[in-house]
Structure 1
Amino acid sequence: MDIESYGALRRTTPHRLTVRRGLDQALRRAFDEAGVPWFDCRHESTGDGTFVLVPAQVPKSPFVEVLSMVLARELRRHNEAHQPEEQIRLRMALHAGEVAYDDQGVTGSAINRTFRLLEAPQLKAALAESPGVLALITSDWFFDEVVRSSTVVDAATFRPVRVAVKETIATGWISLPDHFCAPHPELGIPTPPRQPATVDAHGPVIGQCTLPRDLPVFTGRAKELDILAATVTAEAEKGTLGMAIHVIDGMPGTGKTTFAVHAAYQLAAHFPDGQIFLELHGHSPSQVPVTPADALASLLFLRGVSTLGIPADLDDRARLWREKLTGKKILLLLDDAVDGEQIQPLLPGGAGCLVLITSRHRFESIADAGRVSLQTLPAAEAAAMFDRFTSPEQHEPGAVAELMTLCGNLPLAISLTAGRLRSHPSWTLRQLADDLNHSQNRLKTLRADNRSVAAAFELSYRDLDPDQQRLFRRLSLHPGSHIDAAAAAALDGNDVDATRERLEVLYLNNLLDEPSPGRYRLHDLTQAYSQSLTDPKTDKGAFERLLDYYLETVRAASQFAASPSPRLDLGPRLPMPTRKFDTEGEAIAWLTAERPTIGACINAAAASNRVRRAAELAAALYPFLEQHGYWHDAYRLQRAVLTAAQEAGDLVVEAATRADLGRVLRLLGNYHDAAATLACARDLYLELGNRLGEADVLNEAGRVQQEVSNFIGATAYLDRAHQLYEELHNPLGVAATFAQLARVQYRSCDLEAARTNAERSLDLYRLLGNEPGEMSALLTVGCAQGMSGAYACAVAAFTQALSLSRKLGDRFAEARALNNLGRMHFDCGNYGTADSYYSRAQIIYSQLDYRARVAVTLTNLGRLHHAAGNHRLAFTYMTRAADLFGDDQGWHSENLNNLGSLALEWPDAGDPAELHGRALDLARAVGVRLQVGRALEGLGRSALKAADGARGIEYLRQALALYRELAVPEAAAVRATLDELANM
Structure 2
Amino acid sequence: MTDDLRLDLLGPLRGWTGDRGIELGPLRQQALLAVMALRAGQVLPADELVDLVWNDAPPGSGARIVAPYVYRLRQLLPKDVLLRSRDGYSLRLGGTDLARFEELVSTAHATDDVDVRADRLAEALALFRGDPLSGLPGHYLGVERHRLSERRLKVLAERIDADLERGRYADLVPELVALVEADRLREQFAGQLMLAYWRSGRSSEALATYTRTRETLIDQLGVEPGPALRAIHERVLRNDEPLARPTVRDELPYDGAAFVGRDDVLDQVVSALRTAGPVVVAIDGMAGVGKTALAVRAARQLADVYPDGRLFIDLHGYTPGHEPVSALHALDRLLRTLSVPADRIPAELEERAALWRSELSGRRMLVVLDNAPDSAAVLPLLAGSPRCGVLVTSRRQLSGLDATARFAVDVLRAEDAQELLAEIVGPDRAKDPAAAQVVSQCGYLPLAIRVAGSRLRHRPSWTIEHLSKRLDAEDRRLAELSTDNGGVSPAFALSYEHLPPDQQRLFRLLGAMTGQDIDVYAAAALADVDTFEAEDLLEQLVDANLLLQLHPGRFQFHDLLRQYARTLEPEPDAVRRLLDYYLYATAAASTAIFSSQLQPLPSPPPVRLPEFASAADGLEWIDAEGGNVLATIGYAASSGTAEHAWQLGVAIAPCFFQRGRVDEMDEALELALRAAPDASAQARVLLSIGSLGRYRRGAEASLRTLQEARDRLPADADLTLRARLLASIGYSQAKLRPDDDAIAVLDEALTVARQSGDVGIMARVLGYLGVTYGDRLEFEEALAAYQESLALGEAAVQAEVLNGIGECQLELGRVDEALEALTTARDLGVERGSDYSLIYTYAFLCTAYARQERWDEAVEVGRRSLELALESDSVQSQQNAYLRLAETLLDKGELAQARPHFARALELALSEGPESMVQRAADGLERSSA
Give the counterpart of 1:696 among 721, 724, 733. 724
Q: Check if 1:844 corresponds to 2:868.
A: yes
Aligned to 1:549: 581
Give the counterpart of 2:928 among 887, 891, 902. 902
Q: 8 Å contact 1:260–1:358 — kept in the other structure?
A: yes
Give the counterpart of 2:538 among 491, 496, 503. 503
* Structure 1 residue 367, shift from structure 2 partner: 3.4
Residues 78-477 of structure 1 aligned to structure 2 (within 5 Å): 207-233=248-274, 235=275, 241-394=276-429, 397-438=432-473, 440-477=475-512
Q: 8 Å contact 2:703–2:729 — kept in the other structure?
A: yes
Separation of aligned partners in 1, 2:288 and 2:457:
20
* Structure 1 residue 310, shift from structure 2 partner: 1.7
Identity of aligned residues (%): 31
Give the counterpart of 1:791 among 815, 819, 822. 815
Residues 362-761 of structure 1 aligned to structure 2 (within 5 Å): 362-394=397-429, 397-438=432-473, 440-535=475-570, 539-562=571-594, 567=598, 569=600, 571-574=601-604, 578-579=608-609, 581=611, 583-584=613-614, 585-645=616-676, 649-685=677-713, 689=717, 692-708=720-736, 710-712=738-740, 714-761=742-789
Counterpart of 1:220 in 2: which secondary structure? coil
Separation of aligned partners in 2, 1:706 and 1:414:
61
Q: 8 Å contact 2:474–2:563 — kept in the other structure?
A: no
Structure 1: state its 5+ residue gaps. 1-204, 236-240, 905-984
* Structure 1 residue 882, shift from structure 2 partner: 4.5
Which range moved further: 319-328 or 484-493? 319-328
Q: Match of 2:254, as an amino acid?
A: R
* Structure 1 residue 644, shift from structure 2 partner: 2.5
Q: 8 Å contact 2:699–2:732 — kept in the other structure?
A: yes
* Structure 1 residue 210, shift from structure 2 partner: 0.8
Q: 8 Å contact 1:743–1:780 — kept in the other structure?
A: yes
* Structure 1 residue 743, shift from structure 2 partner: 0.9
Q: Deviations over 1:261-284 (max 9, x none)?
A: 112223333222211111111011
* Structure 1 residue 723, shift from structure 2 partner: 3.4
Q: 8 Å contact 2:695–2:875 — kept in the other structure?
A: no
Q: 8 Å contact 1:635–1:664 — kept in the other structure?
A: no
Separation of aligned partners in 2, 1:598 and 1:442:
26
Counterpart of 1:358 in 2: which secondary structure? strand
Separation of aligned partners in 1, 2:340 and 2:435:
52
Q: Match of 2:815, as an amino acid?
A: Y
Q: Match of 1:771, as an amino acid?
A: A
Separation of aligned partners in 2, 1:636 and 1:429:
34
Q: Deviations over 1:663-695 (max 9, x none)?
A: 221233544432222221121115665554343
Q: 8 Å contact 1:779–1:797 — kept in the other structure?
A: yes
Q: Check if 1:887 corresponds to 2:882.
A: no
Q: Check if 1:806 corresponds to 2:830.
A: yes
* Structure 1 residue 579, shift from structure 2 partner: 2.4
Separation of aligned partners in 2, 1:709 and 1:903:
30
Separation of aligned partners in 2, 1:267 and 1:882:
74
Q: 8 Å contact 1:215–1:262 — kept in the other structure?
A: no
Separation of aligned partners in 2, 1:310 and 1:728:
88
Separation of aligned partners in 2, 1:330 and 1:845:
67
Q: 8 Å contact 1:709–1:888 — kept in the other structure?
A: no
Aligned to 2:176: none
Separation of aligned partners in 2, 1:330 and 1:316:
21
Q: Deviations over 1:156-198 (max 9, x none)?
A: xxxxxxxxxxxxxxxxxxxxxxxxxxxxxxxxxxxxxxxxxxx
Separation of aligned partners in 1, 2:432 and 2:595:
52
TM-score with structure 1 setting the length: 0.66
Q: 8 Å contact 1:686–1:694 — kept in the other structure?
A: no
Q: Match of 2:924, as an amino acid?
A: N
Separation of aligned partners in 2, 1:347 and 1:576:
51
Counterpart of 1:252 in 2: which secondary structure? coil
Which range moved further: 692-701 or 850-859? 850-859
Separation of aligned partners in 2, 1:540 and 1:310:
56
* Structure 1 residue 439, shift from structure 2 partner: 6.7
Q: 8 Å contact 2:425–2:453 — kept in the other structure?
A: yes
Q: 8 Å contact 2:371–2:393 — kept in the other structure?
A: yes
Separation of aligned partners in 1, 2:758 and 2:311:
80
Structure 1 residues 284, 725: CA separation in 2 closer, same or farther (over 3 Å shift)?
same
Counterpart of 1:356 in 2: which secondary structure? strand
Separation of aligned partners in 1, 2:378 and 2:906:
72
Counterpart of 1:366 in 2: which secondary structure? coil
Q: Deviations over 1:579-636 (max 9, x none)?
A: 2526214343333322222222122111212111112222223343333333332121
Q: Match of 1:749, as an amino acid?
A: L
Counterpart of 1:541 in 2: which secondary structure? helix
Q: Match of 1:734, as an amino acid?
A: M
Q: Match of 1:555, as an amino acid?
A: A
TM-score with structure 2 setting the length: 0.70
Q: Match of 1:586, as an amino acid?
A: D
Counterpart of 2:926 in 1: which secondary structure? helix
Structure 1 residues 644, 579: CA separation in 2 closer, same or farther (over 3 Å shift)?
closer
Structure 1 residues 264, 583: CA separation in 2 closer, same or farther (over 3 Å shift)?
same
Separation of aligned partners in 1, 2:929 and 2:779:
30
Q: Check if 1:858 corresponds to 2:908.
A: no
Q: Match of 2:311, as an amino acid?
A: I
Which range moved further: 601-610 or 672-681? 672-681
Structure 1 residues 323, 670: CA separation in 2 closer, same or farther (over 3 Å shift)?
farther
Q: Match of 1:490, as an amino acid?
A: A
Structure 1 residues 673, 398: CA separation in 2 closer, same or farther (over 3 Å shift)?
farther
Larger Rg: 2
Separation of aligned partners in 1, 2:876 and 2:720:
31
What RMSD in Å do the two structures reach over aligned CA positions? 2.5
Separation of aligned partners in 1, 2:599 and 2:534:
34
Counterpart of 1:579 in 2: which secondary structure? coil
Q: Match of 2:776, as an amino acid?
A: S
Separation of aligned partners in 2, 1:261 and 1:892:
75
Separation of aligned partners in 2, 1:555 and 1:529:
32
Structure 1 residues 608, 524: CA separation in 2 closer, same or farther (over 3 Å shift)?
same
Q: 8 Å contact 1:842–1:858 — kept in the other structure?
A: yes
Q: Match of 2:367, as an amino acid?
A: L
Separation of aligned partners in 1, 2:281 and 2:875:
54
Q: Deviations over 1:133-152 (max 9, x none)?
A: xxxxxxxxxxxxxxxxxxxx
Q: Deviations over 1:727-775 (max 9, x none)?
A: 44444333222211111111211122112211111112x1xxx212222
Q: 8 Å contact 2:588–2:612 — kept in the other structure?
A: no
Number of aligned pairs? 682
